[in-house]
A and B are shown apart, each in its own frame.
Chain A
Amino acid sequence: MRWLVLVLVLSVSSVYVLLGNQKRLIREGDMLLVSGESLIAISMYERALLNYVPFSPYNAEAVEKIQKLCPKLKEKEHKLFCYETLRSDLYQLRGFYIPYGEKIKYLEQKTLLTKLELYIEKNMPPQNKYQTIYKDLKSFMDYDPYPSVLWSSAVVFSLLGWILSLTFVIWKGFKKPTDKKAILTGVVFYLSFFTLWLLGLYMA
């Protein structure tokens, strides 16, 4: 029970601090926008989003504000900064799922096309290379080293499993007199978790 209270304190403190940060950063972003510093404003909204709290109204506000600002920017480089910032923020929030993940496809398309335009503008490659360049840029963007959520969660939970199984074997099995049944049960659990752990590491 005592530990649950501490977990609760940790959760409530996190929510309180993150929400406070979100509110302040959004306000700072708004002020910067008024003074015409759009890129810094976007960065403030970005930080607000990085202080993500589920169900916080500030998340959607930050996403919307960045998204609305992107097309208004004059320079193509700044548009790229804007679209890609939002995309990367969402990836930084990913856990079992990506919040606002439905926006990623649109953002990726925008980012990719802007990159292509900028590359062509600056480097003036032959026209027959446009397709290749598009494919290159797309393949760079498609690469994602993030391991499978299913298998990586299997890894971390089975790690906990085999550590706890061994702890069980030690505490219950090796008391005096030795409890062979506890050892056997613990070892079976240990082997199961350990196998799942190895499999998870391989598959993730």
Chain B
Amino acid sequence: MTLLFLSLLAFLYILSSTKAFNSGDAGELITSGATLGLAHPSGYPLYMEVLKLFSFLPLGNVSFRMVLVSVVFSLLSLYVLYRITLELTKDRYVSLFPVALLGVAYSFWGQSVVVKFYTLNLFIISLMLLFGVLTAIRGYDRRYQLFVSFLLGLTLTNHHTGFMMVVPLLVLSLFYLREALKNLPLSFLFFLFGALANLHMWLRGNKIFVMVPVYNWNSFWDVFLRRVYKDGSSLSIVKNAFFDPFGFYYATKNILIILQNNFPIYAFPLFLIGIWQAFKFSKRIGLFLTTFFLTYSLILAKLTFSSPSIKVDSWYMGAHQYFLPALFGFSLLCGLGLHGLVKYLQRTELLKVAVPLSASFAVFLAFFDRLIDQNFNDNYVAYSVSKAILSSLPVGSIYLTYGDNHIFSSWYHRYIALYRQDICSGDYFSPDSSIIVQRGCYPTKLYKDSYIFSNFFKGNFSVFASSGRLYSVIYLRDPNPLLPFLKNHFWIFSFALLPVNANISEEKWSNMLLKWQELEKLTMLDCSTYITDDLFSIILCNYSLPFFAYLIGNVEVEKPNGSIYYDLRYTGPNTYIVYIGKDLPKKSNFPGESFIIKIGVENQPLWDLYKAVFNNNSLERFKYYKYTSEYRRAKK
């Protein structure tokens, strides 16, 4: 029965998994994994090597092979969940229930079908939980302690939240203090063996292209402790745990929202019965499991997710990713709760089978929802947007990217797909900054010493731009130091930065732009048809819309049916207001552009496509939108 259940989930996960890289970090993770490099801090060396291992599979492209890592470790975690429940309840029908509950949970499914390290992290955590439970049931065995210590070491080579398992494990070890202390030196040794996988960072951290290189002790600690993120570094986050006790209120509130959005309402009473049931098994099991749940829900939320006002992208990155272990613990306790109920059905053997099986089946029906909101099979948005930009740029261009969605996708195309290597992409931190980081021009020397890019690297931006080879995803605006020399001109999902004195005729510009009409249309078709509830796809598509509107305006129309004013005002990095109407827009103090779109039969289908993209990418489709600060602001 378990095998059947897991097989069914395996099929569904494969069906809904991403077939080209997904939005967010995927482009970077695939690039780092395939080149055996390092991902963003903390580097994730273990995950990099597992990705590399799967990249040798002869199925699909490199992105699909790497998403199989998530699928496989999801299934393994579900199997461990089944084992833990079975060890505790000795009831194989009841043990299916938490597997069904977790397997179709919104965030668990979501993380199982994209390239991300959270399911590997969950698998390691779940193994430690299993051995903790085995200790509580079967009694102390030093092998369990040594193995768990080894796994704890390994958590420091993947996502560091795995190390938080030390809290429930310490609680459990209080019951076996003498034996645990006796084996502590040996445990420490195995812990070090596990953590030694971080040597990957030393050996690969400066050998090939990596996001933040490791070349000495200091840079190693910068990456390992995520010091580059300043307030978001591992140490700062831990320090913050001891301040602002009121944060626990928001942490609890946010955790409840997350659970409510992942599980059906009837799971909550089962969860409460499950806690009671866990203590009924034994005090050790009760304490161990509740500490585990509290650590990965309340404490983790206090550390990372306890602000009174949380932005939409933090809801996506936090709520949808960090709390898989909490969802795991919740499902486990629900399973124990169901066991508690089923125990009362002692008189009828049939009901003891029928109740858990029908409960599991009922829960499992949520897979219909997941095949819509977490289906990445046909979501080519990230791939498409990035490729459309690169394809449209003239040979030997510089392209200034902004934000992970644009930066990481460009890395994937350049370093893995080896597409448009004649384009040098640079991170550009904000519209008011002239700092350009040439991470998309690796090896830098190759580009710096070339004839093609010599003017740019000598700092002659304006001279370089006069050849029409400087592009930026961000709209240059005051006080950007480049603004006096360059002006924005709409291009394919980016701006051509042209010298202020360069005059290109409207007709010539339109002709150049319309050459790429098809690719832009393809991207917009992708944006209008994908069904996934994926915030970063929404952001990418919305960000691309004004460029598409500009293109529509450039289509020659013989007999216009009417005209539309399109007014775009930049209110901050990556944020803008659009006015679309038949009357002239009101004057605004924000910088931006205005243009007229003449609508006729020639561009009516494109304008309809614009509206379809707009409708398909409403922020409101994001599950957590109603809890975000943006929603509250919009309501006001």
Contact = CB atoms under 8 A, between A and B. Distances in A.
Interface of A: 2, 5-6, 9-11, 13-15, 17-18, 21, 37-40, 43, 47, 50-54, 75, 77-78, 80-81, 84-85, 87-89, 91-96, 115, 118-119, 122-123, 125, 129, 132-133, 136-137, 139-141, 143-147, 152-153, 155-157, 159-160, 163, 166-167, 170-171, 174-176, 194, 198, 201-202, 204
Contacts of A176: 142
B10 A147 contact: no
The DSSP consensus for interface residues of chain A is helix
Contacts of A133: 451-452
Contacts of A115: 395, 422
Contact of A146 (B35, B59, B380, B518): B35
A54 B61 CA distance: 11
A164 to B, nearest CB: 12
A16 B519 CA distance: 29
Contacts of B377: 17, 21
B60 A39 contact: no
A45 B122 CA distance: 37
10 contacts: A10-B14, A39-B519, A43-B522, A52-B59, A84-B420, A91-B416, A93-B62, A118-B394, A198-B203, A201-B203
A37 to B, nearest CB: 6
B19 A21 contact: yes
A93 B61 contact: yes
Interface of B: 3, 6-7, 10-11, 14-15, 19-20, 34-36, 49-50, 52-53, 55-65, 68, 71-72, 75, 142-143, 146-147, 150, 154, 186, 190, 193-194, 196-197, 199-200, 203-204, 208-209, 377, 380, 384, 391, 394-396, 413, 415-422, 442-443, 446-447, 450-452, 467-469, 515, 518-519, 521-522, 525
A40 B200 CA distance: 41
Given A84-B420, A115-B395, A170-B190, A201 B199 contact: yes
A132 B452 CA distance: 9
Contacts of B11: 9, 13
A14 B450 contact: no
A174 B183 CA distance: 11
A137 B395 contact: yes
B49 A159 contact: yes
Contacts of A171: 143, 147
A94 B36 CA distance: 15
Given A18-B64, A137-B395, 8 more contacts: A6-B75, A14-B59, A40-B519, A40-B521, A92-B62, A133-B452, A141-B422, A171-B143
Nearest to B378: A21
Contacts of A18: 19, 59-60, 64
B55 A201 contact: no
A81 B59 contact: no
Nearest to B441: A140
Given A156-B49, A174-B142, A175-B143, A10 B420 contact: no
Q: Binding site of B, secondary structure by majority: helix, strand, loop or mixed?
A: helix
Given A9-B7, A155-B49, A92 B467 contact: no
B14 A119 contact: no
Contacts, number: 204
Given A118-B395, A155-B36, A14 B14 contact: yes
A116 to B, nearest CB: 8
A-B pairs with the 5 shortest C-beta distances? A88-B417, A88-B419, A156-B53, A201-B203, A39-B518
Contact of A81 (B197, B208, B391): B391
B522 A40 contact: yes
Contact of B150 (A5, A53, A166): A166
B56 A153 contact: yes
Contact of B35 (A85, A137, A147, A156): A147
B208 A145 contact: yes
B15 A47 contact: no
Nearest to B203: A201
Contact of A6 (B7, B20, B50, B209): B7
A10 B72 contact: yes
Contacts of B65: 95
Nearest to A5: B3
B334 to A, nearest CB: 24
B35 A75 contact: no
B561 to A, nearest CB: 23
Contact of A92 (B61, B71, B75, B396): B61
Contacts of A52: 59-61
A183 to B, nearest CB: 11
Contacts of A194: 196
Contact of A140 (B36, B63, B421): B421
A34 B452 CA distance: 39
The residue among B413, B469, B522 with the most chain A CB atoms within 10 A of its own CB is: B522
